Structure formats: C-alpha cells, structure tokens
Copies of this chain bind each other. A is one copy, B any other.
Amino acid sequence: MEKDVTIYDIAKLLQLSPATVSRALNDHPAINSNTKVIIASKAKEMGYRSNMFASNLRRQRTSTIGVIVPRLDSAFMSTVLAGMEKVANEANYNLIISQSLESFKKEVANTKTMFDSRVDGLLVSLASDTENLDHFNTFFRKGIPMILFDRVIEQKNCTNIVIDNVKAGYEATAHLIDQGCRRIMHITGSIKRNVYADRLKGYRLALMDHGLEGADELVKITNLTREDGVQAAADIQQMNSPPDGLFVASDFCAVSCMGALMQAGVSIPDDMAVVGFNDDPVAQVIQPSLTTIHYPGQEMGEIAAQSLINHLNGLLRINTTNTILLNYELIVRKSSQRHL
C-alpha cells in the first residue's frame, strides 16, 4: 500500500516549486523544455499519477462525458460505444455509460446520476417511450451540452446525429416492390421514436410513389421483440389476403417472424420477401440470410464524441450545426432476392 506521489513530492526532489511541476506536466508553453523533460522523467520514475479530483475541483470541470443508451446488448451499440471510447480516450475524457433498458423512468434516473456526477457533456440515445426532453432541463439551464444520436427528438440548441430513416425506409420498401411484391407489410416499433416514425413514413412514400395502396392492417406497431415477430407471423396466417413482402424495422424481430412463417410452410423469399433493419450479426447466420439496412456505428460514436468534445473546447458551436446525417446502405441478401 504505497502512498500516492504528488507534485509536491516531485517538486521537493527536484528543488522546484509545485507550480513549475504542474505547469510542466501540463505542457505549459512558458516552461523550459529542458525542465519539462526532467520533470516528466522524474514523474514517471516515481509513478506519479495526476489526482483528477484535485484537478477537477480546481478547474471546475470533470473531463467526463455521460452516455445514456437504451440497451448495450446490440452489435450496433457496441460499435457506437467503441467509437466514443476511442475518441474520448484520445482527448483525455472519461466515459460514464448507462442503459435505460428502454424505460423512460430509468432514463430519468440515469440523467440525475449523470447530473450529480457533473459530466461535462451528454451523449444520449432515447428510450422508446421518451416523449420530450424535459428531464434534461437541468443540463440546458446550466449550459451543459448534449448530443442526441440515432434515437432523437428535434430540439433547437441540440445536435442530432442520425441516418435518414425516411430514405432508408423508402429504399427498403422500394427494393421489395422491385422484387415483385405488391402487398407489403411493415412491422415497426413505437412511433414516438423518430427512427420508427421515419421508417414508416418512408415505407408509405414508397408505396405511394409506386402506385400501391397502403392499408391499416399492413402496418403493425409492436415492441419488436421475438414474441412480436412470432405473433405477426400468426396474424399473417389469418389474413384473407396475406402480404407478399415484409419490411421489419429490426433484424431480430424480422428473423423471429421469418422463422415462424417458414415453420408454417411459407417459402422465403418466394411467397414472402423480407427486409430487416440494422444489419445485426443474426442477419448473416440465419437461413435464408436477411436483407437489411446497415449503418455505421463506430462512425456515429466517433462523430458524436468528437463533436461534443470540440464544442467543449470551444472549437465548434453545436447549437448552430443541428443535424448530422450519416450514410446507410441497403444490403441485399437472400431473404428478399427473387429470381424474377
């Protein structure tokens, strides 16, 4: 149990003042580059580590960024967080990560924890039932910046980082039409969430543009769980004129629905062509492999973190930027490819 080394210890040994040591370690321009070298090597030798708490207390900032996400357990989110971590580490920021588990209540609790931890800024992807940003008012009032990514709500003075979900929904649907589908069902999540509302919008636009009729029974709002997928398959079996195409806003749900359909004797893609969303790893292991929309998690995380840090360093005002659109890609696999 060794005692911690402080700048005073270094200073004493080197016959310098603590101030000089502090400045040297922070690469202050006024310090002789020679003494910098001496101090740095001595610090290393003594196993010095800066006391963030003293530093934070003095500087009145924490070099900590809070991250709130709905869930950690998706490949997408994991890559987002890897991107954030990379950028944050390079800029000497720490990350505090918490998951809302899709519960608004837990999101509010997490928000409070972040506030008490005095994070310098916030990166948030909203829970499925969050309807407004009032729980972040304490942050807004204090001028603590926040960036929303993927699951967002439009808000002035708050940058959003997203893909164009309307366009992606359109493209997914258009692809199905292209494959000969004429009656396309859309299974999606809570339309309180931009990602689902927008994909639905895109779906409807695509139908219209191709002169196809929409119908209420062809749009199912669910929680996109495994059970919802199975239920949807059962419902489809009951329909008088079942769909010949299926656009599901999440791969996992798409896969479970697909499985249930196949068990019931539906042939995919011939009787029913299917497109998912997210490019979850499951899309590639399933038979037939799932056509889906891919978008860049790592990049989204990096850009979100970098934008926030730039803002914190005064290099970019995020309230002027407002929306950053990333690219996505329709990945065509076997679940939708018909041999016309």
Contacts of A89 in B (CB 8 A): 109, 113
Which residues on the B side are within 8 Å of A72 (C-beta)?
72-73, 77-78, 81
* With known contacts A78-B72, A117-B52, A94–B96 Cβ distance under 8 A: yes
Chain A interface residue bracket vs B: 35 or more
Partner of A94, one of B78, B99, B113, B255: B113
Residue from the list B75, B78, B118, B252 in contact with A52, Cβ < 8 A: B118
Q: Which of A9-17, A282-290, A311-319 contacts B (4 or more CB under 8 A)?
A: A282-290
Minimum C-beta distance from A138 to chain B (A):
8
* Alpha-carbon gap, A287 to B255, bound state (A): 10
Q: Please, how many angstroms separate the alpha-carbon atoms of A205 and B116 in the complex?
A: 53
A2-B95 Cα distance, complex, nearest whole Å: 25
Which residues in A have some Cβ–Cβ distance to B below 8 Å?
Answer: 1-2, 49-54, 56-57, 62, 71-75, 77-79, 81-82, 85, 89, 94-99, 101, 109, 113, 115-118, 141-143, 226, 229, 252, 255-256, 259, 262-263, 281-282, 284-287
A57 touches B49 (CB 8 A): no
A226 vs B279: C-alpha distance in the bound complex, in angstroms? Answer: 14
Chain B residues whose CB sits within 8 angstroms of the CB of A2 once the complex forms: 141-142
Name the residue of chain B whose CB is nearest to the CB of A81. B72
- Give complex CA distance A143, B2 in Å: 9
Is A99's CB under 8 angstroms from B78's CB? yes
User: Nearest Cβ in chain B — how far from A76, in angstroms?
Assistant: 8
Measured CA separation A73–B229 after assembly (Å):
21
Contacts of A286 in B (CB 8 A): 255, 259, 285-286
Distance of A81 Cα from B226 Cα, bound (Å): 22
A81 vs B71: C-alpha distance when bound (angstroms): 10
**Are the CB atoms of A85 and B73 closer together than 8 Å?**
no
Top 7 closest A-B pairs, CB basis?
A73-B78, A256-B285, A53-B57, A53-B56, A72-B78, A1-B143, A72-B72
Q: Are A53 and B62 in contact (CB under 8 A)?
A: yes
Known: A256-B284, A282-B285. 7 other contacts (CB 8 A): A53-B56, A72-B78, A73-B74, A73-B75, A252-B281, A259-B285, A259-B286
B53 close to A118 (CB less than 8 A): yes
CB proximity of A308 to chain B, nearest CB, Å: 17
CA distance A116 to B4 in the complex (A): 12
| A284 to B96 Cα, complex, angstroms | 32
Instruction: Give min CB distance, A157 to chain B, whole Å.
Output: 13
* Chain B positions within 8 Å of A53 at CB level: 52-54, 56-57, 62, 118
- Tell whether, in the assembled complex, residue A96 and residue B96 are in contact, meaning their CB atoms are under 8 Å apart: yes
Q: Give min CB distance, A311 to chain B, whole Å.
A: 15
Chain B's nearest CB lies how many Å from the CB of A206? 27
Complex alpha-carbon distance, A79 and B262, angstroms: 31
How near does chain B come to A189, taking the closest CB pair, in angstroms?
16
Docked-complex contact A96 and B95, CB < 8 angstroms: yes
**How many whole Å from A177's CB to the nearest CB in chain B?**
27
* Cβ-neighbour of A287 out of B50, B74, B262, B282 (below 8 A): B262
Q: How far is the CA of A285 from the CA of B115 in the complex (A)?
A: 39
| B142 and A1 contact, CB distance less than 8 A | yes
